[in-house]
Structure 1
Amino acid sequence: MTDLRVASFNCRYDTEYDGPDAWPNRRERVVDLLGDIDADILGVQEATPHQFAYLREHLPGYDWFGVGRQGADEGEHVPVAYRRDLVDPIDTGAFWLSPTPGEVSVGWDAAYPRVATWLDAEVDGQPLRFLATHLDHEGAEARYQSSRLLHERFLTGEVPELVVGDFNATPQSRPVTALTDAGLRPAREAAETVAGPHGTFHRFDGHADDRIDYVFASDEFAVDRFETVVSSAPYPSDHWPVVADLRF
């Protein structure tokens, strides 16, 4: 049986309007947090180009892949990181959450272009498919259609599958049930042991009422443990990371 730790973390984009919580004041805490989590495969959301570069430089045990939502290296990324001493990559790619996923585009009623990043790999000879994404924060129809697109375009069921990300949607919402209806299980509900609060989005005040960050796993995985990782102030981000310990 292969043990695999996967995680999702919205690192919060760099904006001066965050004042004391702006990226330059917390970037070292982000690296320390991700180092402590020590995921084998990680999906990150909201990483602008210089944030993405900082993560790559300061987390050297990983190989990374991601594209900006404006294309190439432009705009926020949803990168995937994988531990090079454990994960054997087969292929990587990205597509846009829209009716024209092969090109830079805004889907349905979304406020911005949104992208999904994927990795096909083997771990100890076991194939898997991993996807990280960030659904739109304003467009309800875009969130739902984006989840349907993930299933129809990417989630074939041919290999064990993992999906992580910030869905900007609560557990009973249409975007989440679109994935559960497709056969993916939220790792928190499937886990033998659960730690940390239900909510994940705390807006830099430490009080998370909304659960919008997820790890989903197909039936090939047993979920030993799930944790919403809480930090003390000053906070690394306005989201708590979510982490799942899995077995094939």
Structure 2
Amino acid sequence: MSKVLLLAVFLSSLLPAETLRVMTFNVRYPNPGDGANVWSARRDLFVETVKANAPDVMGTQELFYEQGQYIVEKLPGYAWFGVSRRGNHEDEHMGVFYRKDRLRVVDSGDFWLSTTPERAGSSSWQMSLPRMVTWALFEARNGGAKFLFLNTHFPHRDVDEAARVKCARLLAGRIGLYEDDLPIVLTGDFNAPAAGGAYAILSPLMKDAWKELHPAREEGTFHGFRGTPRADRIDWILYRAPWKVTSAEIITTHNSALYPSDHFPVLAVFELP
């Protein structure tokens, strides 16, 4: 091996590895009944939480259009996209945010968790509300590497367990349609613990970023603006890719009794090959 090539190999080993920072964050819709934690009171703390953790891509749930617009107004390095679960901008979105300097959207779209996935606003399985997935095919601006990103919010009631299983089956079928070598990331509020029916369907197909680093530990993510979460981790970051998880955190940022949301966000950092 020539000295020039040896030097190039040595220098490349000193460069920091390429990383991808992924966050899932249930925003909590702007409910006027949230008292001290109404959106107008916590929105700047929400923005600061995102800014401090600097995700390259973030899947949100319960996002209203005005919330999405406020976030990108305050964080102009980000863009976001998505439609509401009714197929317009008049309800909750599964909004996807991304850093414009790091990622480019190649393609994007939405489908519904129902027996008619392409019909906007459709709902099945006795769910009380339409549920959906917003997705994008991203390309890294620096080198052209592509990955598929999906973001969702499963039904929330105790009686919806069978529906959550059907949602997971539909998602698993969609994921199975893609080429095996395409990296895929799935974020969401699954309204179920990282065990049980829905998780059992998705976990054979995708790794759980949290469990890659914390295989024997669980922490809750929903806390209802109280700061003390329930036992179950219902917000997940799953992935199918030859990537290494270097960090997986549940972010508990707050300012006294003020919280950015009623869920703690989850952040995973991936080292890309």
Please state which band the TM-score falls in when normalised by the shorter chain.
Answer: over 0.9
Aligned equivalent of 1:205: 226
Counterparts in 2 of 1:197 and 1:28: CA distance versus 1, 3 Å? farther
**Structure 1, unaligned runs of 5 or more:** none
Q: How does 1:143-154 map to 2 (within 5 A)?
A: 143-154=164-175
Match for residue 184 of structure 2 among 150, 161, 164: 161
Aligned equivalent of 2:193: 170
Deviations 1:13-51 (A, max 9, x none): 111111111111111111111111100010011011221
Deviations 1:124-157 (A, max 9, x none): 3211001111111022122111111112124523
Contact residue 109 and residue 140 of structure 1 kept, 8 A: no
Aligned equivalent of 2:155: 136
Q: TM-score, normalised by structure 1?
A: 0.94
Q: TM-score, normalised by structure 2?
A: 0.85
Cα distance in 2, alignment partners of residues 158 and 152 from structure 1 = 16
Figure out how many residues of one structure are paired with residues of the other and give that number. Answer: 245
Q: Is 1:214–2:236 an aligned residue pair?
A: yes
- Structure showing greater radius of gyration is 2
Per the TM alignment, residue 197 of structure 1 is displaced from its structure 2 partner at its CA by 6.9
Quote the RMSD (CA, aligned, Å): 1.6
Per the TM alignment, residue 158 of structure 1 is displaced from its structure 2 partner at its CA by 4.2
Letter in 2 for 1:137: H
Cα distance in 2, alignment partners of residues 131 and 146 from structure 1 = 13
Aligned equivalent of 1:236: 260
Cα distance in 1, alignment partners of residues 34 and 218 from structure 2 = 24
Cα distance in 1, alignment partners of residues 40 and 124 from structure 2 = 32
Match for residue 122 of structure 2 among 105, 130, 140: 105
Aligned equivalent of 2:144: 125
Letter in 2 for 1:11: V
Runs of 4+ in 1 over 3 A off after TM superposition: none
Cα distance in 1, alignment partners of residues 126 and 175 from structure 2 = 22
Q: How does 1:1-248 map to 2 (within 5 A)?
A: 1-103=17-119, 104-123=121-140, 124-138=143-157, 139-155=160-176, 156=178, 157-181=180-204, 183-191=205-213, 198-209=219-230, 210-232=232-254, 233-248=257-272
Identity of aligned residues (%): 38
